[in-house]
Amino acid sequence: MRVAALQLDIAWEDPAANIARADALAARAVAVGARMAVLPEMFNTGFTMSAVRAAQHAERTRAAMAEIAVRHGLWVAGGYVDSPGPEEGSPAADSGRPRNACSIFAPTGDEVLRYHKIHPFSLAGEHEHYDGGTTLPTAEVEGLRVTPLVCYDLRFPEPFRIAAERTDLYLVIANWPDARRDAWRTLLRARAIENQAWLLGVNRVGEGDGLSYAGDSALIDPLGATVAECTGAEAVMAGDVDVARVTEVRERFGFLADRKPDVYAGL
């Protein structure tokens, strides 16, 4: 299955402009044979701390993603600010704050998954404006088991490991500044290697709220090899993901089977 990172130059807090850009990039993804197109974190606004205002665009943004999926016959994934409300599948109480979300839409326009970022980025004060999620869903996309995470989640190996046995492809969508680009590139490869799964990292480019973004979107294979990457400018980066490669690597190198969770719990 060919997947495409839509490395977007996000217009700051301008949903209409960003949705139009996303639609144009999706058309380019189709032209290179992609079956799934993935947008960055908060692709419609940029990484804003104006959470309540941004959440007002949640329904409109989901509708636009569904329309893009139907119009181009694509699976579409991307991030936005979700409205306050109880999280599906979670017993946790709702504080009434928005959440940093990622949704996946089928070519029919149906939303098949909605994930809320587990780790708000405290260094930027995200935790003061957004609630963290408490569930980690996985969706099947034409036989490919896909688990999304968002930006700062990349620094925490635990959710990746928990989802490893039900995941063929991790999506990591981000607004990751170029000042920490070495960490981004290193952690993408680390999460793929340690979980023996494909990983598609999708970052933004351009300027937003005083920060610069270099992109460095990349597709990493289950052994940590970079299959495709792009940097510096708005682009469509595509590469092929093979489920059989995950099975092959895990059968040949039985590292996941050698884990000792019972021992770890007592350490």
* Dist. CA 46–CA 68, nearest whole Å: 19
Domain membership of residue 149 as a residue range: 2-266
* Dist. CA 160–CA 40, nearest whole Å: 19
Share of the chain above pLDDT 90, in %: 95
Closest CA to 77 of 197, 205, 198, 174: 174
**For the chain, what percentages of helix, strand and coil (3-state, to nearest 5) are there?**
35, 30, 35
Evaluate if residue 93 carries a pLDDT over 60: no
User: Considering Cα of 108, then 110, then 115, then 116, what sign does the dihedral take?
Assistant: positive
pTM for the predicted model, two decimal places: 0.96
Residue 29 tokens read as 């993804």
Number of domains in the chain: 1
Instruction: From the candidates 13, 102, 117, 230, give the one annotated as an active-site residue.
Output: 117
Closest CA to 171 of 77, 101, 89: 77
Summarised one tens digit per residue, pLDDT across range 223-265 is 999 999 999 999 999 999 999 999 999 999 999 999 999 999 9
Active site residue 117: yes
Q: Note the Cα 25 to chain centre separation in Å.
A: 17
* Dist. CA 188–CA 154, nearest whole Å: 7
Around Cβ 5, how many Cβ atoms within 10 Å?
31
Domain containing 142 — which CATH number? 3.60.110.10
Summarised one tens digit per residue, pLDDT across range 5-38 is 999 999 999 999 999 999 999 999 999 999 999 9
Active site residue 260: no
Summarised one tens digit per residue, pLDDT across range 212-221 is 999 999 999 9
Q: Note the Cα 87 to chain centre separation in Å.
A: 18
Instruction: From the candidates 13, 102, 151, 230, give the one annotated as an active-site residue.
Output: 151
226 strand-pairing partners: 220
218 strand-pairing partners: 201, 229
